[in-house]
Amino acid sequence: MAKVRGTFPLDAETIAIGTELLIGGRSDSNSLFLADELGQLGIAVRFKSVVGDERQDIVMAIHTAVKRAQVIIMTGGLGPTVDDCTREAVAQAAGRRLGRRKEALEGLTTRLAQWGRIPNTAQLRQAMIPSGATVLKNPVGSAPGFCLRWKKALIISLPGVPREMEEMMRQEVVPLLRAASESSGLSPRTPIVRQIFHTFGLAEADVDAKLQGLIPKGAPVDLGLLASPMGVLVSLTTKGNQSTQEKNRDLMQKLADDVRSRLSDWLFAEGRDTMEEVVGRELARQGLMVAIAESCTGGLIGHRLTQVAGSSAYLDRGAVCYSNRAKTEMLGVPADLIVKHGAVSQEVVASMAKGIRERANVSVGLSVTGIAGPGGGTATKPVGLVYIGLDDGTGQPIAQEFRFHGDRTVIKQRSSQAALNLLRRWLLDRASR
């Protein structure tokens, strides 16, 4: 573990480097991870910057960051190509020289040797480290990182590849930040605690209304709401070092209980849990098998349930019945039922759920049919009309009507979430009987 002297930092800024990142369009998992890891050390990410692969722009971003953050975590730009210029930018920004460092070269050579290669000229650039910086080992890939104290900030440079960045944070950076905290002689900072609640079935404004007055005036906790097609996420976050760890814990416990009771009917998961994990766990606990019949969701529900490792214990099969003929042949939905009520109807969704349950010979059948759009809607059956069915063989099938808004993707997402939520509620009802 590398050692770095100095006072212990408070605020962090992340700088992600890469022209492709400026364009966006993809999920940024690095931010989530970094916010979590730093939060546990009591360090709050206050700013997040993204710059392209231009040395001058990276230099400018570093100069901005050192003015407002004490921990700067840079990700990306450490590869072997000419585009990768984070090393050069940090050296230039802090007025250091770049030199080939023995321990960086050794790590690089060892890693490549494991892959049966020897470093070429381009790869040797990866061993260039700014003078005065500490080399950070990369236990996964070839590019070493480094840590440089400059002005009042710790500048930490890591690869952008999530798996490499995450391992280096865990094995190198976190111990280094802890050591810096201890050697500074300051009392350890209170970890930033963040609790997350996932709701489905309420609009953001309604969640907001239900949570009015939740946080007592002056309490060191922030309340956050974030709406998506999968529901509204509620977060409680303690604010930095304003209170002791014990006081924070008590307050958070009280607030969390309050959130649970105010949102009980709509709360389906907490923390990193997902709907499919919650449903899967409950199916496994009750020893039940499910089978699914999907029309407008096209396989999304099966995909989601099988995202969970071990799902073969409770998912037997799924039928994606896109055509009417498939509904009849795969599920035994009577053709005249479809003619009479239409494929998108309460009658057909109930028949689908019964059909898949009986054919799979499982405890419960779940079904969805609807109009995802943009075409196919009529005045009486508009785009967004979705039926969800559940059959458990008790002769009391459930068939619910929903009217969702949004584009095709959103309607599919909401439909899959509503279907899994219906299954979840049925499982809870069954357990409480």
Report 204-223 residues binding its own copies (CB under 8 A). 208, 222
Cα–Cα distance between 355 and 350 in angstroms, integer?
Answer: 9
CB nearer to its own copies: pick between 133 and 219 = 219
Q: What is the size of the binding site for its own copies (CB under 8 A)?
A: 77
CB nearer to its own copies: pick between 251 and 362 = 362
Q: How far is the CB of 318 from its own copies (least distance, A)?
A: 3
Residues in 102-121 at the binding interface with its own copies, rule: CB under 8 A: none
Residues in 40-59 at the binding interface with its own copies, rule: CB under 8 A: 45-52, 54, 57
CA angle 205/399/375 to nearest 5° reads 70
- Taking CB under 8 A as the criterion, the residue among 155, 301, 338, 423 binding its own copies is 301
Residues in 354-373 at the binding interface with its own copies, rule: CB under 8 A: 359-360, 372-373
Asked if 37 is part of the footprint of its own copies (rule: CB under 8 A), the reply reads no
Asked if 189 is part of the footprint of its own copies (rule: CB under 8 A), the reply reads no
CA angle 20/21/26 to nearest 5° reads 100
Asked if 156 is part of the footprint of its own copies (rule: CB under 8 A), the reply reads no
- Whose tokens are 């439909």? That residue is 415
**Cα four-point dihedral sign 256, 260, 262, 263:** positive
CB 315 within 8 A of CB 305: yes
Q: Which residues share a beta bridge with 44?
A: 11
- Taking CB under 8 A as the criterion, the residue among 4, 6, 31, 174 binding its own copies is 31
Binding piece for its own copies, criterion CB under 8 A, among 91-99, 129-137, 248-256, 319-327:
319-327
Helix-helix angle 324-331:346-360, to 10 degrees? 40
Residue-by-residue DSSP string for 73-107: EEES--SSSTT--HHHHHHHHHT--EEE-HHHHHH
Q: How far is the CB of 199 from its own copies (least distance, A)?
A: 15
Q: By rule CB under 8 A, what string of x and - marks binding of each residue 225-254 to its own copies? A: -x-x----x-x-x-----------------
R_g (Cα) of the chain, nearest Å: 27
Helix-helix angle 408-432:275-286, to 10 degrees? 30
The candidate with the shortest Cα–Cα distance to 14, out of 70, 63, 66, 74, is 74
Q: How far is the CB of 166 from its own copies (least distance, A)?
A: 12
Q: How far is the CB of 145 from its own copies (least distance, A)?
A: 20
Residues in 266-295 at the binding interface with its own copies, rule: CB under 8 A: 292, 294
Give the 3-state secondary structure of residue 406.
coil
Residues in 9-28 at the binding interface with its own copies, rule: CB under 8 A: 19-28
Q: How far is the CB of 228 from its own copies (least distance, A)?
A: 7
CB 368 within 8 A of CB 295: yes
- Whose tokens are 């962090």? That residue is 12
Q: How far is the CB of 390 from its own copies (least distance, A)?
A: 18
Asked if 1 is part of the footprint of its own copies (rule: CB under 8 A), the reply reads no
Q: How far is the CB of 29 from its own copies (least distance, A)?
A: 6
* DSSP one-letter code for 173: I
Asked if 353 is part of the footprint of its own copies (rule: CB under 8 A), the reply reads no
Cα–Cα distance between 110 and 214 in angstroms, integer?
Answer: 55
Asked if 315 is part of the footprint of its own copies (rule: CB under 8 A), the reply reads yes
